[in-house]
Structure 1
Amino acid sequence: MIELKKLANMIDHTLLRADAKEEELKQLCKEADQYGFKMVAINSYPVYMCRTYLGESPVHVGAAIGFPLGQTTIETKVFEVKDAIKNGADEIDYVINVGKLKDGDIDYIRKEMKAIVDASKEGNILSKVILETCYLTEEEKVQVCEIAKEIRPDFVKTSTGFGTGGATIEDVKLMKAVVGEQVKVKAAGGIRDLTTALAMVEAGAERLGTSSGIKIVEEYKKK
Protein backbone atom coordinates (compact mmCIF):
# COMPACT_ATOMS: atom_id res chain seq x y z
CA MET A 1 0.00 0.00 0.00
CA ILE A 2 1.11 3.58 -0.69
CA GLU A 3 3.03 5.28 2.14
CA LEU A 4 1.04 7.63 4.36
CA LYS A 5 3.24 10.66 3.65
CA LYS A 6 2.91 10.17 -0.10
CA LEU A 7 -0.86 9.73 0.11
CA ALA A 8 -1.26 12.85 2.23
CA ASN A 9 0.83 14.83 -0.25
CA MET A 10 -1.59 13.85 -3.02
CA ILE A 11 -4.50 15.52 -1.24
CA ASP A 12 -5.86 18.95 -2.16
CA HIS A 13 -7.57 20.00 1.09
CA THR A 14 -10.80 21.61 -0.07
CA LEU A 15 -13.10 24.37 1.16
CA LEU A 16 -15.15 25.88 -1.66
CA ARG A 17 -18.40 26.67 0.12
CA ALA A 18 -19.94 30.09 -0.51
CA ASP A 19 -20.35 30.69 3.23
CA ALA A 20 -16.80 29.75 4.27
CA LYS A 21 -15.65 32.15 6.98
CA GLU A 22 -12.14 33.52 7.46
CA GLU A 23 -11.54 31.40 10.56
CA GLU A 24 -12.54 28.26 8.64
CA LEU A 25 -10.12 29.11 5.85
CA LYS A 26 -7.31 29.70 8.33
CA GLN A 27 -8.13 26.36 9.94
CA LEU A 28 -8.00 24.73 6.49
CA CYS A 29 -4.48 26.11 5.99
CA LYS A 30 -3.38 24.99 9.46
CA GLU A 31 -4.68 21.47 8.83
CA ALA A 32 -3.05 21.27 5.39
CA ASP A 33 0.30 22.22 6.88
CA GLN A 34 -0.11 19.87 9.84
CA TYR A 35 -1.09 16.84 7.74
CA GLY A 36 1.28 17.45 4.84
CA PHE A 37 -1.40 17.97 2.22
CA LYS A 38 -0.29 19.27 -1.16
CA MET A 39 -2.65 22.21 -1.54
CA VAL A 40 -5.56 24.15 -0.12
CA ALA A 41 -8.29 24.28 -2.78
CA ILE A 42 -10.22 27.51 -2.39
CA ASN A 43 -12.09 30.14 -4.36
CA SER A 44 -10.17 33.10 -5.81
CA TYR A 45 -11.09 35.70 -3.20
CA PRO A 46 -9.24 34.21 -0.18
CA VAL A 47 -6.03 33.35 -2.11
CA TYR A 48 -4.02 36.29 -0.74
CA MET A 49 -5.18 35.64 2.82
CA CYS A 50 -4.33 31.93 2.66
CA ARG A 51 -0.94 32.55 1.03
CA THR A 52 -0.11 35.09 3.73
CA TYR A 53 -1.33 32.79 6.50
CA LEU A 54 0.68 29.81 5.19
CA GLY A 55 3.85 31.88 4.94
CA GLU A 56 6.86 29.64 4.21
CA SER A 57 4.82 26.43 4.37
CA PRO A 58 5.31 24.10 1.36
CA VAL A 59 1.52 23.83 1.06
CA HIS A 60 0.33 25.23 -2.27
CA VAL A 61 -2.59 27.64 -2.63
CA GLY A 62 -4.95 26.61 -5.40
CA ALA A 63 -7.53 28.95 -6.93
CA ALA A 64 -10.74 27.68 -8.50
CA ILE A 65 -11.34 29.49 -11.80
CA GLY A 66 -14.70 29.88 -13.55
CA PHE A 67 -16.06 27.93 -10.63
CA PRO A 68 -18.24 25.94 -10.43
CA LEU A 69 -20.13 26.30 -13.73
CA GLY A 70 -17.40 27.26 -16.20
CA GLN A 71 -19.82 29.64 -17.88
CA THR A 72 -17.62 32.72 -18.10
CA THR A 73 -15.68 33.96 -21.11
CA ILE A 74 -12.15 32.88 -21.90
CA GLU A 75 -10.99 36.43 -21.22
CA THR A 76 -12.64 36.39 -17.79
CA LYS A 77 -11.03 33.09 -16.88
CA VAL A 78 -7.60 34.29 -17.99
CA PHE A 79 -8.03 37.45 -15.90
CA GLU A 80 -8.98 35.29 -12.91
CA VAL A 81 -5.85 33.18 -13.41
CA LYS A 82 -3.56 36.23 -13.60
CA ASP A 83 -5.24 37.83 -10.59
CA ALA A 84 -4.86 34.62 -8.58
CA ILE A 85 -1.17 34.43 -9.50
CA LYS A 86 -0.70 38.06 -8.44
CA ASN A 87 -2.30 37.21 -5.09
CA GLY A 88 -0.04 34.20 -4.47
CA ALA A 89 -1.67 31.15 -6.09
CA ASP A 90 0.63 28.22 -6.92
CA GLU A 91 -2.01 26.25 -8.84
CA ILE A 92 -5.30 26.81 -10.63
CA ASP A 93 -8.22 24.45 -11.29
CA TYR A 94 -10.47 25.80 -14.05
CA VAL A 95 -13.82 24.51 -15.28
CA ILE A 96 -14.24 24.04 -19.02
CA ASN A 97 -17.23 25.51 -20.82
CA VAL A 98 -19.29 22.31 -20.77
CA GLY A 99 -22.01 23.84 -22.95
CA LYS A 100 -19.53 24.56 -25.76
CA LEU A 101 -18.28 20.98 -25.56
CA LYS A 102 -21.86 19.67 -25.73
CA ASP A 103 -22.33 21.86 -28.82
CA GLY A 104 -19.39 20.07 -30.40
CA ASP A 105 -17.28 23.23 -30.49
CA ILE A 106 -13.94 21.53 -29.95
CA ASP A 107 -12.02 24.54 -31.29
CA TYR A 108 -13.45 26.66 -28.45
CA ILE A 109 -12.41 24.09 -25.82
CA ARG A 110 -8.91 24.00 -27.34
CA LYS A 111 -8.66 27.80 -27.48
CA GLU A 112 -9.87 28.13 -23.88
CA MET A 113 -7.46 25.50 -22.60
CA LYS A 114 -4.47 26.98 -24.43
CA ALA A 115 -5.21 30.49 -23.14
CA ILE A 116 -5.46 29.33 -19.54
CA VAL A 117 -2.51 26.94 -19.68
CA ASP A 118 -0.37 29.66 -21.30
CA ALA A 119 -1.34 32.17 -18.58
CA SER A 120 -0.49 29.58 -15.91
CA LYS A 121 2.89 28.79 -17.46
CA GLU A 122 3.71 32.49 -17.71
CA GLY A 123 3.09 32.69 -13.97
CA ASN A 124 5.06 29.48 -13.37
CA ILE A 125 2.14 27.72 -11.68
CA LEU A 126 0.37 24.39 -12.19
CA SER A 127 -2.87 24.14 -14.17
CA LYS A 128 -5.70 21.63 -13.90
CA VAL A 129 -8.60 21.26 -16.33
CA ILE A 130 -11.92 20.28 -14.74
CA LEU A 131 -14.05 18.23 -17.16
CA GLU A 132 -17.15 17.89 -14.92
CA THR A 133 -17.48 14.32 -16.14
CA CYS A 134 -21.02 13.80 -14.76
CA TYR A 135 -22.36 15.83 -17.70
CA LEU A 136 -20.23 14.25 -20.43
CA THR A 137 -20.44 11.27 -22.72
CA GLU A 138 -17.46 8.95 -22.96
CA GLU A 139 -16.65 10.46 -26.36
CA GLU A 140 -16.66 13.98 -24.91
CA LYS A 141 -14.38 12.95 -22.04
CA VAL A 142 -11.95 11.49 -24.56
CA GLN A 143 -12.10 14.63 -26.71
CA VAL A 144 -11.10 16.91 -23.81
CA CYS A 145 -8.33 14.55 -22.73
CA GLU A 146 -6.96 14.40 -26.27
CA ILE A 147 -6.83 18.21 -26.36
CA ALA A 148 -5.08 18.15 -22.98
CA LYS A 149 -2.53 15.68 -24.31
CA GLU A 150 -1.78 18.20 -27.06
CA ILE A 151 -1.76 21.41 -24.96
CA ARG A 152 -0.26 19.94 -21.79
CA PRO A 153 -1.93 21.30 -18.68
CA ASP A 154 -0.44 19.61 -15.63
CA PHE A 155 -3.64 17.73 -14.79
CA VAL A 156 -7.03 16.78 -16.10
CA LYS A 157 -9.56 16.64 -13.27
CA THR A 158 -12.84 14.79 -13.03
CA SER A 159 -15.21 17.11 -11.18
CA THR A 160 -15.97 20.27 -9.25
CA GLY A 161 -17.89 18.44 -6.53
CA PHE A 162 -20.83 20.76 -7.30
CA GLY A 163 -22.27 18.81 -10.25
CA THR A 164 -24.66 15.87 -10.28
CA GLY A 165 -21.84 13.41 -9.64
CA GLY A 166 -18.18 13.15 -8.69
CA ALA A 167 -15.17 11.03 -9.54
CA THR A 168 -15.60 7.43 -10.62
CA ILE A 169 -13.00 4.72 -11.04
CA GLU A 170 -14.11 4.27 -14.66
CA ASP A 171 -13.59 7.94 -15.49
CA VAL A 172 -10.17 8.07 -13.86
CA LYS A 173 -9.06 4.98 -15.80
CA LEU A 174 -10.43 6.39 -19.05
CA MET A 175 -8.79 9.78 -18.59
CA LYS A 176 -5.45 8.21 -17.68
CA ALA A 177 -5.62 5.88 -20.66
CA VAL A 178 -6.04 8.85 -23.01
CA VAL A 179 -3.51 11.32 -21.52
CA GLY A 180 -0.90 8.69 -20.72
CA GLU A 181 2.26 10.01 -19.10
CA GLN A 182 1.98 13.45 -20.69
CA VAL A 183 -0.67 14.75 -18.25
CA LYS A 184 -1.61 13.70 -14.72
CA VAL A 185 -5.12 12.94 -13.45
CA LYS A 186 -6.85 14.47 -10.44
CA ALA A 187 -9.91 12.75 -8.98
CA ALA A 188 -12.35 14.97 -7.08
CA GLY A 189 -15.92 14.78 -5.87
CA GLY A 190 -17.24 12.14 -3.49
CA ILE A 191 -13.89 10.93 -2.12
CA ARG A 192 -14.81 10.59 1.52
CA ASP A 193 -12.92 7.56 2.85
CA LEU A 194 -9.61 5.71 2.60
CA THR A 195 -10.99 2.86 0.48
CA THR A 196 -12.23 5.27 -2.19
CA ALA A 197 -9.03 7.33 -2.07
CA LEU A 198 -6.82 4.27 -2.56
CA ALA A 199 -9.05 3.00 -5.37
CA MET A 200 -8.67 6.33 -7.20
CA VAL A 201 -4.89 6.17 -6.84
CA GLU A 202 -4.89 2.59 -8.08
CA ALA A 203 -6.95 3.71 -11.10
CA GLY A 204 -4.33 6.30 -12.01
CA ALA A 205 -5.07 9.47 -10.03
CA GLU A 206 -2.02 11.37 -8.80
CA ARG A 207 -3.97 14.05 -6.96
CA LEU A 208 -7.16 13.82 -4.88
CA GLY A 209 -9.52 16.71 -4.24
CA THR A 210 -11.47 16.19 -1.04
CA SER A 211 -12.78 17.89 2.07
CA SER A 212 -12.31 14.56 3.91
CA GLY A 213 -8.51 14.52 3.86
CA ILE A 214 -8.14 14.38 7.64
CA LYS A 215 -10.62 11.50 7.88
CA ILE A 216 -8.72 9.62 5.16
CA VAL A 217 -5.34 10.09 6.86
CA GLU A 218 -6.71 9.11 10.28
CA GLU A 219 -8.25 5.95 8.74
CA TYR A 220 -4.86 5.09 7.29
CA LYS A 221 -3.17 5.52 10.69
CA LYS A 222 -5.61 3.06 12.25
CA LYS A 223 -4.64 0.46 9.67
Structure 2
Amino acid sequence: MSFNIASYIEHTILKQTTTLAEVDKVCVEASMENFVAVCVPPKYVLNAKKLLDGSRVKIATVIGFPLGYNVTDVKLREIDDALNMGADEVDMVHDLCALKNNNWKLLEDEIAACLKPVHDAGKVMKVILETGILTDSEIVKCCQLYSNFKIDYIKTSTGFADIGATVNAIKLIKANIPAKMGIKASGGIRNYAFAKELIDAGATRLGCSSSWQIMKEFRLATGG
Protein backbone atom coordinates (compact mmCIF):
# COMPACT_ATOMS: atom_id res chain seq x y z
CA MET A 1 0.00 0.00 0.00
CA SER A 2 1.47 3.37 -1.00
CA PHE A 3 2.32 5.96 1.63
CA ASN A 4 -0.19 8.79 2.03
CA ILE A 5 0.62 11.37 4.66
CA ALA A 6 -3.07 12.34 4.93
CA SER A 7 -3.64 9.20 7.02
CA TYR A 8 -1.34 10.65 9.71
CA ILE A 9 -2.73 14.18 9.87
CA GLU A 10 -5.03 15.71 12.46
CA HIS A 11 -6.01 19.01 10.84
CA THR A 12 -5.77 21.41 13.75
CA ILE A 13 -7.01 24.84 14.76
CA LEU A 14 -6.52 25.75 18.42
CA LYS A 15 -5.56 29.42 18.43
CA GLN A 16 -7.20 31.64 21.02
CA THR A 17 -9.16 33.61 18.42
CA THR A 18 -10.56 30.61 16.50
CA THR A 19 -13.84 31.45 14.77
CA LEU A 20 -16.68 29.18 13.70
CA ALA A 21 -15.90 30.01 10.05
CA GLU A 22 -12.33 28.77 10.54
CA VAL A 23 -13.59 25.54 12.13
CA ASP A 24 -15.96 25.06 9.18
CA LYS A 25 -13.01 25.49 6.78
CA VAL A 26 -10.84 23.00 8.68
CA CYS A 27 -13.64 20.42 8.65
CA VAL A 28 -14.29 20.84 4.92
CA GLU A 29 -10.58 20.51 4.15
CA ALA A 30 -10.25 17.44 6.39
CA SER A 31 -13.17 15.79 4.63
CA MET A 32 -11.74 16.61 1.18
CA GLU A 33 -8.30 15.22 2.03
CA ASN A 34 -9.49 12.29 4.18
CA PHE A 35 -7.39 13.41 7.13
CA VAL A 36 -7.59 11.06 10.09
CA ALA A 37 -9.06 13.74 12.37
CA VAL A 38 -9.64 17.39 13.10
CA CYS A 39 -8.56 18.89 16.42
CA VAL A 40 -10.69 21.83 17.51
CA PRO A 41 -11.37 23.83 20.69
CA PRO A 42 -13.92 22.21 23.03
CA LYS A 43 -16.53 24.88 22.32
CA TYR A 44 -16.60 23.83 18.65
CA VAL A 45 -16.88 20.05 19.05
CA LEU A 46 -20.63 20.06 18.37
CA ASN A 47 -20.15 22.18 15.25
CA ALA A 48 -17.42 19.90 13.93
CA LYS A 49 -19.54 16.84 14.69
CA LYS A 50 -22.41 18.21 12.60
CA LEU A 51 -20.14 19.22 9.73
CA LEU A 52 -18.40 15.84 9.61
CA ASP A 53 -21.50 13.70 10.18
CA GLY A 54 -21.20 10.63 7.96
CA SER A 55 -17.50 11.23 7.41
CA ARG A 56 -14.68 8.96 8.59
CA VAL A 57 -12.83 12.00 10.00
CA LYS A 58 -12.59 11.81 13.80
CA ILE A 59 -13.22 14.75 16.14
CA ALA A 60 -10.44 15.49 18.63
CA THR A 61 -10.40 18.22 21.26
CA VAL A 62 -8.20 19.40 24.09
CA ILE A 63 -8.34 19.13 27.89
CA GLY A 64 -6.45 21.27 30.42
CA PHE A 65 -5.18 23.25 27.45
CA PRO A 66 -2.64 24.73 27.03
CA LEU A 67 -1.00 24.98 30.48
CA GLY A 68 -2.07 21.74 32.12
CA TYR A 69 -2.36 22.92 35.71
CA ASN A 70 -6.13 22.62 36.05
CA VAL A 71 -6.98 20.38 39.01
CA THR A 72 -8.12 16.87 38.15
CA ASP A 73 -11.79 17.53 38.93
CA VAL A 74 -11.81 20.33 36.36
CA LYS A 75 -10.17 18.10 33.75
CA LEU A 76 -12.75 15.41 34.47
CA ARG A 77 -15.56 17.91 33.87
CA GLU A 78 -13.92 19.01 30.62
CA ILE A 79 -13.63 15.37 29.53
CA ASP A 80 -17.27 14.70 30.40
CA ASP A 81 -18.41 17.73 28.40
CA ALA A 82 -16.23 16.78 25.41
CA LEU A 83 -17.52 13.22 25.32
CA ASN A 84 -21.13 14.34 25.69
CA MET A 85 -20.68 16.71 22.73
CA GLY A 86 -19.37 13.87 20.58
CA ALA A 87 -15.58 14.04 20.73
CA ASP A 88 -13.89 10.83 19.56
CA GLU A 89 -10.47 11.69 20.98
CA VAL A 90 -9.21 13.90 23.82
CA ASP A 91 -5.72 15.42 24.02
CA MET A 92 -4.99 16.22 27.66
CA VAL A 93 -2.13 18.37 28.93
CA HIS A 94 -0.79 16.68 32.04
CA ASP A 95 0.01 18.64 35.20
CA LEU A 96 3.35 20.23 34.39
CA CYS A 97 3.49 21.90 37.81
CA ALA A 98 3.28 18.47 39.44
CA LEU A 99 6.04 17.23 37.14
CA LYS A 100 8.36 20.13 37.95
CA ASN A 101 7.62 19.62 41.67
CA ASN A 102 8.64 15.97 41.20
CA ASN A 103 5.16 14.90 42.29
CA TRP A 104 4.84 11.80 40.12
CA LYS A 105 2.13 10.35 42.37
CA LEU A 106 -0.17 13.23 41.43
CA LEU A 107 0.46 12.51 37.74
CA GLU A 108 -0.35 8.83 38.30
CA ASP A 109 -3.58 9.71 40.08
CA GLU A 110 -4.50 12.25 37.40
CA ILE A 111 -4.11 9.85 34.47
CA ALA A 112 -5.86 7.01 36.33
CA ALA A 113 -8.87 9.25 36.97
CA CYS A 114 -8.98 10.91 33.55
CA LEU A 115 -8.36 7.82 31.45
CA LYS A 116 -11.29 5.85 32.89
CA PRO A 117 -14.22 7.87 31.46
CA VAL A 118 -12.51 8.12 28.08
CA HIS A 119 -11.93 4.39 27.72
CA ASP A 120 -15.29 3.54 29.32
CA ALA A 121 -16.83 5.50 26.43
CA GLY A 122 -14.66 3.64 23.89
CA LYS A 123 -12.79 6.81 22.96
CA VAL A 124 -9.11 7.72 22.54
CA MET A 125 -6.83 9.42 25.08
CA LYS A 126 -3.65 11.31 24.23
CA VAL A 127 -1.40 12.80 26.92
CA ILE A 128 0.46 15.99 25.97
CA LEU A 129 3.90 16.07 27.59
CA GLU A 130 5.03 19.51 26.31
CA THR A 131 8.46 18.10 25.50
CA GLY A 132 9.95 21.47 24.56
CA ILE A 133 10.05 22.53 28.21
CA LEU A 134 11.16 19.16 29.62
CA THR A 135 14.60 17.65 29.98
CA ASP A 136 15.36 14.36 28.25
CA SER A 137 15.28 12.58 31.63
CA GLU A 138 11.86 14.08 32.41
CA ILE A 139 10.55 12.90 29.03
CA VAL A 140 11.85 9.39 29.73
CA LYS A 141 10.30 9.36 33.20
CA CYS A 142 6.94 10.48 31.75
CA CYS A 143 7.10 7.69 29.19
CA GLN A 144 7.85 5.15 31.90
CA LEU A 145 4.94 6.39 34.01
CA TYR A 146 2.41 6.45 31.16
CA SER A 147 3.56 3.07 29.88
CA ASN A 148 1.86 1.63 32.98
CA PHE A 149 -1.49 2.91 31.70
CA LYS A 150 -3.34 2.00 28.53
CA ILE A 151 -3.26 5.47 27.03
CA ASP A 152 -3.51 5.53 23.26
CA TYR A 153 -0.95 8.20 22.36
CA ILE A 154 1.86 10.22 23.86
CA LYS A 155 1.73 13.69 22.28
CA THR A 156 4.72 15.99 22.17
CA SER A 157 3.37 19.51 22.41
CA THR A 158 0.51 21.99 22.62
CA GLY A 159 1.97 24.29 19.97
CA PHE A 160 1.94 27.10 22.54
CA ALA A 161 5.45 26.56 23.95
CA ASP A 162 8.52 28.03 22.26
CA ILE A 163 9.66 24.57 21.13
CA GLY A 164 7.24 22.13 19.51
CA ALA A 165 7.84 18.70 18.05
CA THR A 166 11.43 17.60 17.45
CA VAL A 167 12.93 14.49 15.92
CA ASN A 168 14.91 13.94 19.12
CA ALA A 169 11.75 13.98 21.25
CA ILE A 170 10.01 11.49 18.95
CA LYS A 171 12.97 9.11 19.04
CA LEU A 172 13.21 9.42 22.83
CA ILE A 173 9.50 8.69 23.28
CA LYS A 174 9.57 5.78 20.85
CA ALA A 175 12.48 4.18 22.73
CA ASN A 176 10.65 4.36 26.05
CA ILE A 177 7.04 3.32 25.41
CA PRO A 178 5.39 0.04 24.34
CA ALA A 179 5.33 -0.56 20.60
CA LYS A 180 1.50 -0.57 20.60
CA MET A 181 1.30 2.98 22.02
CA GLY A 182 0.98 5.73 19.42
CA ILE A 183 3.02 8.93 19.20
CA LYS A 184 1.50 12.23 18.10
CA ALA A 185 3.92 14.93 16.99
CA SER A 186 2.57 18.46 17.13
CA GLY A 187 3.81 22.03 17.23
CA GLY A 188 5.72 23.71 14.43
CA ILE A 189 5.08 21.15 11.67
CA ARG A 190 4.83 23.46 8.69
CA ASN A 191 6.23 21.51 5.73
CA TYR A 192 6.25 18.01 4.25
CA ALA A 193 9.99 17.45 4.72
CA PHE A 194 9.78 17.93 8.50
CA ALA A 195 6.53 15.96 8.73
CA LYS A 196 8.19 13.02 6.96
CA GLU A 197 11.21 13.25 9.27
CA LEU A 198 8.93 12.96 12.29
CA ILE A 199 7.12 9.96 10.81
CA ASP A 200 10.41 8.28 9.99
CA ALA A 201 11.50 8.86 13.60
CA GLY A 202 8.38 7.11 14.92
CA ALA A 203 5.42 9.51 14.91
CA THR A 204 2.13 7.79 14.10
CA ARG A 205 0.01 10.96 14.11
CA LEU A 206 0.75 14.58 13.19
CA GLY A 207 -1.09 17.56 14.63
CA CYS A 208 -0.82 20.29 11.96
CA SER A 209 -2.40 23.62 11.20
CA SER A 210 -0.40 23.77 7.94
CA SER A 211 -1.93 20.54 6.67
CA TRP A 212 -3.07 22.02 3.34
CA GLN A 213 0.48 23.19 2.54
CA ILE A 214 1.94 19.86 3.65
CA MET A 215 -0.38 18.02 1.26
CA LYS A 216 0.67 20.27 -1.65
CA GLU A 217 4.33 19.56 -0.91
CA PHE A 218 3.64 15.86 -0.46
CA ARG A 219 2.07 15.65 -3.92
CA LEU A 220 4.96 17.54 -5.49
CA ALA A 221 7.48 15.28 -3.77
CA THR A 222 5.74 11.99 -4.58
CA GLY A 223 3.83 12.74 -7.77
CA GLY A 224 0.66 11.79 -5.88
Q: Say whether the fold is shared (TM-score over 0.5).
A: yes
- Residue type matched to 2:40 in 1? I
Q: What's the counterpart of residue 46 of structure 1?
A: 44
What TM-score comes out, normalization by structure 1 length?
0.96
Q: What's the counterpart of residue 3 of structure 1?
A: 3
Q: What's the counterpart of residue 175 of structure 1?
A: 173
Equivalent of 1:151 in 149, 152, 155: 149
Q: Secondary structure at the match of 2:66?
A: coil
Equivalent of 2:212 in 211, 214, 217: 214
Equivalent of 1:70 in 59, 68, 75: 68
Distance apart, 1:179 and its partner CA: 0.4
How is 1:64-213 mapped onto 2 (pairs within 5 angstroms)? 64-213=62-211
Tell me how far apart the structure 1 counterparts of residues 181 and 145 of structure 2 sit (CA, whole Å).
Answer: 11
Q: Secondary structure at the match of 1:12?
A: strand
Tell me how far apart the structure 2 counterparts of residues 59 and 158 of structure 1 sit (CA, whole Å).
Answer: 22
Q: Are the equivalent residues in 2 in contact too, given 1:12–1:208 (CA < 8 A)?
A: yes
Distance apart, 1:180 and its partner CA: 2.9
Distance apart, 1:2 and its partner CA: 6.0
Q: Are the equivalent residues in 2 in contact too, given 1:109–1:144 (CA < 8 A)?
A: no
Tell me how far apart the structure 2 counterparts of residues 125 and 50 of structure 1 sit (CA, whole Å).
Answer: 17
Q: Deviations over 1:11-68 (max 9, x none)?
A: 0100001211111111110000101111111111110111011111111110110100
- Paired-residue identity, %: 35
- Residue type matched to 1:222 in 2? L
Q: Deviations over 1:65-86 (max 9, x none)?
A: 0100011011111111111010
Tell me how far apart the structure 1 counterparts of residues 164 and 2 of structure 2 sit (CA, whole Å).
Answer: 23
- Residue type matched to 2:6 in 1? A
How is 1:10-29 mapped onto 2 (pairs within 5 angstroms)? 10-29=8-27
Q: Secondary structure at the match of 1:179?
A: coil
Tell me how far apart the structure 2 counterparts of residues 174 and 27 of structure 1 sit (CA, whole Å).
Answer: 35
List, as ranges, runs of 4+ consecutive aligned residues in structure 1 with deviation greater than 3 Å.
none
**Structure 1 unaligned regions, length at least 5:** none
CA-atom RMSD, angstroms? 1.2
Tell me how far apart the structure 1 counterparts of residues 219 and 192 of structure 2 sit (CA, whole Å).
Answer: 10
Distance apart, 1:185 and its partner CA: 0.7
**Structure 2 unaligned regions, length at least 5:** none
Q: Secondary structure at the match of 2:56?
A: coil
Distance apart, 1:118 and its partner CA: 1.1
Q: Secondary structure at the match of 1:185?
A: strand
- Residue type matched to 1:3 in 2? F
